[in-house]
Amino acid sequence: MPKLCARNIAISLDGYIAGPDQDADNPLGVGGMRLHEWVFQTRTLRRAEGEEGGNTGLDDELIAHADDGIGATIMGRNMFGPIRGGWGDDTWTGWWGDEPPYHHDVFVLTHHAHDPIPMQGGTTFHFVTDGIESALEQAFAAADGGDVRLGGGASAIQQYLRAGLVDEMNLAYAPILLGGGERLFDNLEGTPPGLECVELTSTTTVAHARFVKAGAS
């Protein structure tokens, strides 16, 4: 059965998945890129950027297989771009240039309607104004039997956690403190609701925790 999965969500030891003061110059907030240093050390990412070397092992395996089985993505508007309120001149098409890395339909949660944005490489951004359940229904339909990936930001993930709709979540705990920004588990009661930790492993760079719906492991 297709699942809603949040994969490789990098998180600091004090619980932040983005730093403070997110803007066009700091899409992950001030200091937020430090959460992802482990990713850019992997062989998979280095090869994608045309570079040699890089770490192998668990970190690399998780990045190399991050898209396996994924047919569509859901993200919050903050992850799509720094614009708040109305869309203005509509020139913004995301952080990822002309060919985003998704290569499938992406559903953006927003309160402001926007026409779909088709991009090179098969990515089309759709803007959903009628709630998380509608976005999930559309994403599963677009995935055509595949899983749906839940991207950031923190608010989008929290909404799906509170609704009990997340089937699997993989967190990568980076050994840093950000001290401010967007905390993943704010507005929740303790551990991820309805999820249990079934796997905890570590490398020299991060600790990986895998959560699944209680009873599904």
Based on the structure, what is the number of domains in the chain?
1
Q: What is the pLDDT of residues 118-170, one digit of tens each?
A: 999 999 999 999 999 999 999 999 999 999 999 989 999 999 999 999 999 99
In this structure, what token pair is assigned to residue 147? 């899983």
Mean pLDDT along residues 186-215:
87
In a domain, residue 177? The reply is: yes
In a domain, residue 171? The reply is: yes
In a domain, residue 199? The reply is: yes
**Residue range of the domain that includes 177:** 4-23+55-82+99-213
Helix, strand, coil percent content, the chain, rounded in steps of 5: 25, 30, 50
In a domain, residue 94? The reply is: no
In a domain, residue 40? The reply is: no
pTM for the full model?
0.94
Q: What is the CATH number of the domain that holds 127?
A: 3.40.430.10
pLDDT at 188 over 90: no
pLDDT classification of 217: cutoffs 50, 70, 90: low
How far apart (Å, rounded) are the C-alpha atoms in residues 184 and 197? 16
How far apart (Å, rounded) are the C-alpha atoms in residues 196 and 63? 22
How far apart (Å, rounded) are the C-alpha atoms in residues 125 and 109? 10
Dmax over CA atoms of the chain, in Å, equals 48
Which pairs count as long-range contacts for 189-192, CB under 8 Å and 24+ apart, including other chains?
A: 192/161, 192/166
Q: What is the DSSP letter of 146?
A: S
pLDDT at 189 over 90: no
